[in-house]
């Protein structure tokens, strides 16, 4: 057994080589897969849809916000990996009484690569984690943010209307793209806004995320009515909010998105 520090500054006693891991966060589930942990991961949530083969074959222990502790017990995990924002504190507190629970707390790219390093160390996949971080660093170093920057509102929910605020991983990804969050100064991480507040903010572009609310083409007209001069873009939310191995591919997605926004290098 070894003591490992998690991102909430807690010491967690874990096996030298965990062999029965449960992941409670979709982006970290994908990370564990891409680190080659295979059969060592025995449980995931119903929202862990990537990779597809794990979603189809792995035992599911409920959702990110409502973990089925009886299903967890049945899997006899020797390590549970969760996240401060994604998982409910009451669930985590209950699980900690019976199992080693390692928690991430990711607000920006630096936190994300730190999380990957730590999970690599916990699971004995240090070399793979190091290669992954090198890939991520190179990809983001090659991403050129918009210049001049554009103001933007990033919507995550429809009813009520909610946006990503300043203290979020999404906000940091926007920053890397050269997008200035018009609601960054509002208190709270995810902020409820009105149509009037959106109109007053008058962002250069409005982004509608695919998750957690599945915005689609049918929703664009609503935002066109509120901000007639602001282009509305549907975006793949996994690239803005998943902080695991998907970060290797996020800059390529961002680059294509930014090119669509400004095809000739001018203002949208």
pLDDT in tens, 1-56: 999 999 999 999 999 999 999 999 999 999 999 999 999 999 999 999 999 999 99
Q: Is the pLDDT of residue 265 over 80?
A: no
Structure tokens at 234: 């549907």
pLDDT in tens, 150-178: 999 999 999 999 999 999 999 999 999 99
Beta strands at 150-157 and 162-164: parallel, antiparallel or unpaired: antiparallel
Are 173 and 239 a contacting pair, CB within 8 Å? Answer: yes
pLDDT of residue 105: 98
Q: Is the dihedral of CA 162, 169, 79, 11 positive or negative?
A: negative
pLDDT of residue 188: 86
Domain limits of the chain? 2-139, 150-261
pLDDT of residue 187: 86
Output the average pLDDT for the chain.
96
Which whole-number Å values give the CA distances from 246 to 70, 212, 230, 238, in the listed order?
A: 31, 17, 29, 8
Structure tokens at 113: 């690569």
pTM of the full predicted structure? 0.94
62-71, 75-84, 92-101, 259-268: the lowest-pLDDT one: 259-268
pLDDT of residue 262: 72
Beta strands at 190-192 and 162-164: parallel, antiparallel or unpaired: antiparallel
Annotate 34-63 with three-state secondary structure.
Answer: HCCCHHHEEEECCCCCCCHHHHHHCEECEC
Return the CATH fold of 2-139: Rossmann fold (3.40.50)
Phi-psi region for residue 81, left (φ > 0), alpha (ψ -120 to 50) or beta? beta
pLDDT of residue 171: 98
Cis peptide upstream of residue 148 (ω within 30 degrees of 0):
yes
Euclidean distance between CA atoms 60 and 115, whole angstroms: 23
pLDDT in tens, 69-95: 999 999 999 999 999 999 999 999 999
Would 2-139 and 150-261 be classified into the same CATH topology? yes
Euclidean distance between CA atoms 24 and 247, whole angstroms: 19
With tokens 């509002």, the residue in question is 186
**Phi first, then psi: what are they for 80, rounded to 5°?**
-120, 135
In the chain, what percentage of residues exceed pLDDT 90?
95
Domain 150-261: give its CATH superfamily.
Nitrogenase molybdenum iron protein domain (3.40.50.1980)
Q: What is the DSSP letter of 103?
A: E
The closest alpha carbon to 112, from 247, 228, 239, belongs to 247
Q: Is the pLDDT of residue 264 over 60?
A: no
């Amino acid at each position: 057994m070894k003591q490992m520090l998690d991102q909430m500054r807690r010491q967690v006693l874990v096996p030298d080589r965990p062999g029965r891991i449960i992941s409670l966060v979709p982006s970290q589930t994908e990370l564990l897969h891409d680190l080659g942990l295979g059969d060592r991961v025995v449980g995931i949530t119903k929202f862990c849809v990537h990779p597809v083969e794990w979603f189809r074959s792995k035992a599911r222990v409920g959702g990110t916000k409502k973990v089925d502790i009886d299903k967890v017990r049945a899997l006899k995990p020797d390590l549970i990996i969760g996240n401060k924002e994604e998982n409910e504190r009451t669930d985590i507190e209950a699980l900690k009484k019976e199992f080693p629970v390692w928690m991430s707390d990711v607000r920006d790219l630096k936190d994300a690569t730190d999380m990957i390093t730590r999970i690599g160390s916990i699971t004995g996949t240090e070399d793979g984690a190091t290669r992954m971080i090198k890939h991520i660093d190179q990809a983001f170093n090659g991403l050129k943010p918009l210049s001049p920057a554009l103001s933007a509102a990033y919507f995550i929910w429809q009813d009520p209307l909610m946006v990503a605020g300043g203290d979020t991983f999404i906000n940091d990804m926007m920053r890397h793209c050269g997008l200035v969050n018009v609601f960054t100064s509002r208190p709270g991480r995810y902020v409820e806004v009105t149509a009037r507040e959106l109109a007053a903010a008058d962002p250069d572009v409005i982004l509608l995320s695919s998750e957690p609310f599945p915005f689609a083409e049918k929703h664009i007209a609503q935002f066109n009515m509120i901000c007639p001069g602001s282009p509305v873009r549907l975006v793949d939310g996994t690239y803005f909010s998943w902080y695991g191995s998907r970060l290797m591919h996020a800059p390529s997605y961002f680059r294509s998105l930014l090119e669509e926004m400004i095809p000739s290098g001018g203002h949208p």
